[in-house]
Structure 1
Amino acid sequence: MTATPVTATPVTAALVTPRRPVERTHHGDVVVDDYEWLRDADDPAVVAHLEAQDAWTRARLAHLEPLRERLFTEIKDRTLETDLSVPVRLGDHWYYARTVEGSQYAIHARVPAAPDAWTPPTLEPGVTPDPGSRGPGGGDEQVLLDENALAEGHEFFALGGTEVSADGRLLAYQVDVQGDERYVLRFRDLATGEDLPDVVEETSPGVALTPGPGSPGSAAGGYVFYTTVDDAWRPHRVWRHQLGTPAADDVLLLEEPDERFWVGVGLTRSRRFVQVELASKLTTEVWLVPADAPTSEPVVVWPRREGVEYSVEDAGDQLLVLHNDGAENFELVSVTVPDDLRAPGAFDAAGADVVVPHDPAVRLEGVDAFASHLVLSYRRDATPRVAVAARGPAAPRRMTGTGSRAASAGLSWREVSTGEALEGVQLDASPMVDQPVVRVVVESFVTPRTVYDVVLATGELLLRKRQPVLGGYDPAGFEQRRDWATAPDGTRVPVSLVWKRDPALPAGPARPAPVLLYGYGSYEYSLDPWFSVPRLSLLDRGVVFAVAHVRGGGELGRGWYDDGKLLAKRNTFTDFVAVAQHLVDTGWTTPQRLAAEGGSAGGLLVGAVANLAPQLFAGIHAAVPFVDPLTSILDPSLPLTVTEWEEWGNPLDDPDVYAYMKGYSPYENVPDDASAYPPILATTSLHDTRVLYVEPAKWVARLRAAGAPALLRIEMSAGHGGVSGRYSRWRQIAEENAWLLDVLGATEATRPGR
């Protein structure tokens, strides 16, 4: 097919993408796609074109090199490069990860734990302990995995799932060196530090180790459960591998034929069960395999019912089941675990007892069972929260209580909180059933990630570590608040804002200020308060960082999500525009000082917003953006397409869905003349399997052909999350932030009182 040249546009120096028209016909609608030819990543001409696009973009960004280096240095100077995580108790050891200055990746290690010790050992990063002491680099420390050694010789590296056997003698770990999220599964004998001969290729994240026959508590000679993906990158099979046998002899435990569903596998905290979850966007089914009988057939807890989602937590003689059957925001119930799991009526839902009833103001998200207490994770007022209750009777009260304590269904709940505005509280690693403390992480837009242990018996918060931020960072020098915008249909949309406090302006930042507005709005994923070291460089330059908590996310419960998906998806985009307009109308900023940013499905959001309201923004950064959704969702052979139909709709079979998606698709709706669009930076990765590189590549080609000032930055050795290695990642973030500061006109750091 002959390439048709593109007429030069006002962006004149832009690299031209040849047009090679391809027709697509669905429901009588004929679409001519000039850039679909870019999909063939095996074509050397396509790769050469992408490399040329990237080189052209790098040249266009060359003037930002000094700023990019300053931003990288600021990130580096604020980060404690030699550091370690708070050790986590598992069995007879404390496990932790540490980083070393100059190394890209983490080192995973452990030290012995004294009996009944629940105070993590004090380990000094970078200090070689005296013989006999415990700590990084010497003494009793045992290095389990050095990611730097595993990454040697590879441009990309990612560690997938890891699992330590019950006796602490074996480590299962998964490695990806392409960025395509297909992992090689290996096993390490922790007594010798050597890997076993067993190697399983092409696995997806998640493993479960169980003892072998005659070896209680040990995985030596035991079994490992893992999953593999189909051609569409959907985890669809669960396998059982016996250590010491060829992978070719592995037993297929379960296969999910319904392409809407994916599978996952893991051990319950109790280690009594291997748990297999089969889930679509709307429906769940959980199967159990007794860990002491790993070769037995799995048993279903509740057979799937269309539209019913549930999760299972082992609580000894009961299973705790969190479900949405007749409970939009979910309800927690308990069912008895029978002696015979295969007995008729086992796990009978009809006989379930309500533990926490449904509450329209509280979205229940998870429950964790420990020997003496339950820990409930939930969402209220658009923030994540955690509450603890002793496993005993109490007078019932509702979770909507405004005090620090709330209760329901016979349990007295104590909410964990430090009292900070906009704080998010989430349960962290707490792997043992009988531990007397549980770990939580508290974080806000101004407070760095802070780790506490909660004493279950008293509720006391024991500070274990606050993320160090070097250079004299003081949270009191920054301000955060919650605001509300009004959508076109009257819905109030929450907005979070954070900025650097100016002593001369106690009421807020100088106005109008440069504002970076961030959004996502899909999959019920919530943008909870989070601290960011790279963001400080933006705040230092007077930028206000704002988060639009648009519909399609989960901030305000399941209804908030439902109102931003399928045939209500446009609410996501109009909510974001409404927030942007609110920030302008209330004097926070002006269109000349407002930029938008979103990644993946958030890239779809900002791509759609570019078509809806280009006049509101000075620049738009779309990271790994899902900007050609109709083409992707029309092709069931593409990764993740069929599993996505319950999120976006099925345009193949439903003409209404087809027309609706075509009406908002960023790629489909670029106008013939986009010369008035703001500068757009699209960033992507060649090996991304979630959002294929071809979507932003096509989008940028069409934008440029229509006269829009659009750039494509593509990493040739990376995945959906971008490049690997912390220093490489910092440089990538610095490059993106330099571009954002440039379009905002905020490249210089501000001074107090200025």
Structure 2
Amino acid sequence: MTSCAQEKSRTPYEWPSIAAPIAAVKPHVRALHGDTVIDNYYWLNDYFKKGPDTAAVIQYLEAENAYTDAMMKDTEPLQAKLFEEMKGRVKEQDESVPYFKNGYYYYTRTEEGKQYYKFCRKKESLDAPEEVLLDVDALAEGHSYYSVRGFNVSPDNKLLAYGVDTVSRRQYTIHIKKLETGELMADAIPGTTGGSVWANDNQTLFYTKNNPATLLTEKIMRHTLGNGVEGDATVYHELDNTNYIGVSKAKSGRFIYIYSGGTLSSETRYLDADKPMEAFRVFQPRMKDVLYSVTALSDRFLIVTNRDAKNFKLMECPLDETGVAHWKEMIPHREDVLLEDVDEFKDFLVISERKNGLVQLAVRNLMDGSEHYLDFGEAAYTAYPATNPEYNTSTLRYAYTSLTTPASTYDYDMLLREKTLKKQQEVVGGYNVEDYTTERLYATADDGTKVPISLVYKKGFRKDGSAPLLLYGYGSYGATMDPSFSSARLSLLDRGFVFAIAHIRGGQEMGRQWYEDGKMMKKKNTFTDFIACGQYLVAEKYTAPEHLYAQGGSAGGLLMGAVINMAPQLWHGVIAQVPFVDVVNTMLDETIPLTTNEYDEWGNPNDREAYFYMKSYSPYEHVEAKAYPNMLVTTGLHDSQVQYFEPAKWVAKLRATKTDNNVLLLKTEMDYGHGGASGRFDYLKEIALVYAFLCALEGITD
């Protein structure tokens, strides 16, 4: 292995001279708001639409896959080495830290050579005999994709509900297993999100039903065991197709909640979990531009809300008077602190906050009102409450990681203020944190805004512009890209790469305003922030344009498409994974899954102003006759979040339009969807492909 890519021992990769696939041109006219656009590759929707060109779509995707394989052929030994290297760091026989709930310790364990895991429990003591509740390794046999979610044990500990998806389209069928006999009940509930909630009678199950075409969460259903799915009652039907809905249960087991929320407003309903046949009551009717979420204590409700509080505040109200008129302030709004969430315990509250881009966990003692913060001791990190299902405990379990600290699980005694490390991710073969350095930098955006950058590199790095650097970004939906450890990433760092995260607007790292300044009619701030981060890293000689790479997926793939249109000369290569690049056409098509849920994020293009703003940055609309960076684009045929045809159309248009001879590759996983492979090792193959592509561009052969 090359110990540092800054050494002058690189061998330029010889890309094969092979003709790339050329997609057929079949003009389609879009006319709206007095604007006419010709889309030559609209026909690539046909597999999704079940149109006449369905077979031609598959042929084109397979031709692109064959081209990618041929172009990357000489990197196959490196891909194999990278895969084995990354797989070799994963502890194959492993076990999660058990958590305690309702008399049992629950955990998962993995076995050597197996892709999946076993979901297990032990009664009252970790020395008790093991009970394997679900052997996912066995269930997944014969499936190219297998995902299980929503493990949900009934209050009497006798039944397990769980959801299964074998297509990778996030449509789960809920199954119910009798744990005493191992028998699978006849109740199989299709077309769900996979999660469910038991009422306290152990006979009634609430779940979220998806629309089979749009995949929108439309209904909350009530199922009674043994009655058949056709008899399930609709207890809530969401009529606003811009909202997501879901059902959950209070940690104390006292209430069941239905949450309905969009980007801008939300509403909660609740029900006594002992009385599942009663109607849900509205906690507080939805209010314009007001989000709120509800947590139940033994004597009152707590409400996290942004009502008159951009960064959110904490309110409280009586159990029998839940309307906004009865809300009383508990933690006021703070300009410099984003209040993200609260975790309830019988005698404590754990409040998740964000200040200066970093998470803080505050512990409030409900008995005496005292409050203190946990100390994490690093400049840049990720921390959050982990699995805490038990209500009557003084122990908080939290997770911690950073760019140099492997994933760690701690138990924290909230009374004694003492933490105990329960487990740290083991990096097989050894890992020395002292070999790597992490930094927190700030780039200045076009409007003067300081944009944080977290980065990590192996010691021996020289800041002279010769090192390759991979800059990752997302910047949408208020999702924060907190710095975390990756054992797979060591394969890149050990080959001399710097890895950096641009904490751009559109995320929520620096508070709610950070999100609002990167969405809707301010979306372009996301793109200019990322470009500013790249320019800063070049100016400070962390890298140079001939060694600078960018990576993003989904909405981060939109970011990739936008920045190569706006500043193509800044990047030597770009990795765009499941990229959302055909913004206008997708947002105009309400038959595409999840489109209407996104109006509050991007805008509704049926509105003239929103249409022209979206069109002004949508990557597909702005492919031009100019030089673009080297690119690797990935997608999944069954992707429910960003349909395969967006990257396929984009690549087809780039091929026909760009003026350079740089490499452009499209890889479609024909068996998977948005999240890629489901097995714990299979996903490493895509990472190996990405890393091999980057190494090829750098002339790193080993």
Q: Using structure 1 for the length normalisation, give the TM-score.
A: 0.88
- String of CA shifts for 1:206-259, please: whole Å, max 9, x gaps: 2101133xxxxxx1xx10000111221110100000011111000000001111
How many angstroms does 1:353 deviate by? 2.1
Asked if the contact 1:11–1:704 (Cα under 8 Å) also holds between the matched residues in 2, the reply is no
One-letter identity of the residue aligned with 1:697: A
One-letter identity of the residue aligned with 1:28: G
How do 1:123-522 and structure 2 match up within 5 A? 133-134=127-128, 140-212=129-201, 219=202, 222-230=203-211, 231-338=213-320, 346-393=321-368, 411-502=369-460, 511-522=465-476
> 1:692 matched to which residue of 2?
643
One-letter identity of the residue aligned with 1:156: Y
> 2:120 matched to which residue of 1?
109
One-letter identity of the residue aligned with 1:165: S
One-letter identity of the residue aligned with 2:311: N
One-letter identity of the residue aligned with 1:316: S
One-letter identity of the residue aligned with 2:31: T
How do 1:526-605 and structure 2 match up within 5 A? 526-605=480-559
The structure whose RCO (Cα within 8 Å, separation 6+) is larger is: 2
Aligned length, in residue pairs = 678
Provide the rounded CA distance (Å) in 2 between the counterparts of 1:742 and 1:687. Answer: 29
Matched, 1:52 2:5: no
Asked if the contact 1:385–1:424 (Cα under 8 Å) also holds between the matched residues in 2, the reply is no
CA gap of 1:531–1:388, structure 2 versus 1, over 3 A, is: same
How do 1:741-752 and structure 2 match up within 5 A? 741-748=695-702
**Once structures 1 and 2 are overlaid, which stretch shifts more, 196-205 or 601-610?**
196-205
> 2:600 matched to which residue of 1?
646
Asked if the contact 2:586–2:592 (Cα under 8 Å) also holds between the matched residues in 1, the reply is yes
- String of CA shifts for 1:243-300, please: whole Å, max 9, x gaps: 1111100000000111111210111111111111011111110000111000100011
SS at 2:614 equivalent: helix
Asked if the contact 1:651–1:657 (Cα under 8 Å) also holds between the matched residues in 2, the reply is yes
> 1:128 matched to which residue of 2?
none
> 2:10 matched to which residue of 1?
none
Matched, 1:89 2:100: yes
**Once structures 1 and 2 are overlaid, which stretch shifts more, 479-488 or 196-205?**
196-205
How many angstroms does 1:747 deviate by? 4.5
Provide the rounded CA distance (Å) in 1 between the counterparts of 2:375 and 2:136. Answer: 35
Provide the rounded CA distance (Å) in 2 between the counterparts of 1:532 and 1:295. Answer: 47
Provide the rounded CA distance (Å) in 1 between the counterparts of 2:701 and 2:557. Answer: 24
Asked if the contact 2:263–2:600 (Cα under 8 Å) also holds between the matched residues in 1, the reply is yes
Provide the rounded CA distance (Å) in 2 between the counterparts of 1:248 and 1:484. Answer: 57
Asked if the contact 1:542–1:746 (Cα under 8 Å) also holds between the matched residues in 2, the reply is no
How many angstroms does 1:684 deviate by? 0.3
> 1:68 matched to which residue of 2?
79
**Once structures 1 and 2 are overlaid, which stretch shifts more, 508-517 or 708-717?**
508-517
Matched, 1:37 2:43: yes
- String of CA shifts for 1:405-453, please: whole Å, max 9, x gaps: xxxxxx4322122312212210000101102211001110000011000
One-letter identity of the residue aligned with 1:145: L
SS at 2:86 equivalent: helix
How many angstroms does 1:745 deviate by? 3.7
Provide the rounded CA distance (Å) in 2 between the counterparts of 1:744 and 1:284. Answer: 48
**Once structures 1 and 2 are overlaid, which stretch shifts more, 105-114 or 366-375?**
105-114
How many angstroms does 1:658 deviate by? 0.9
> 1:4 matched to which residue of 2?
none
Asked if the contact 2:464–2:541 (Cα under 8 Å) also holds between the matched residues in 1, the reply is no
> 2:674 matched to which residue of 1?
720
Q: Using structure 2 for the length normalisation, give the TM-score.
A: 0.95
Provide the rounded CA distance (Å) in 2 between the counterparts of 1:455 and 1:688. Answer: 43
One-letter identity of the residue aligned with 2:19: A
One-letter identity of the residue aligned with 2:88: D
**Once structures 1 and 2 are overlaid, which stretch shifts more, 158-167 or 611-620?**
158-167
SS at 2:610 equivalent: helix
One-letter identity of the residue aligned with 1:417: D
- String of CA shifts for 1:374-415, please: whole Å, max 9, x gaps: 01111111122212110034xxxxxxxxxxxxxxxxx43221
One-letter identity of the residue aligned with 2:638: H
SS at 2:477 equivalent: coil
How many angstroms does 1:348 deviate by? 2.9
- String of CA shifts for 1:491-541, please: whole Å, max 9, x gaps: 111111100112xx6xx6564311000000000000001110110000001
> 1:343 matched to which residue of 2?
none
Provide the rounded CA distance (Å) in 1 between the counterparts of 2:221 and 2:558. Answer: 35
Provide the rounded CA distance (Å) in 2 between the counterparts of 1:419 and 1:33. Answer: 53
Provide the rounded CA distance (Å) in 2 between the counterparts of 1:510 and 1:170. Answer: 61
Identity of paired residues, percent? 43
CA gap of 1:660–1:622, structure 2 versus 1, over 3 A, is: same
> 2:9 matched to which residue of 1?
none
Provide the rounded CA distance (Å) in 2 between the counterparts of 1:738 and 1:496. Answer: 24
Runs of 4+ with deviation above 6 angstroms: none
SS at 1:667 equivalent: helix
Asked if the contact 1:543–1:746 (Cα under 8 Å) also holds between the matched residues in 2, the reply is no
- String of CA shifts for 1:444-486, please: whole Å, max 9, x gaps: 0000011000102122101100000122201111110100001
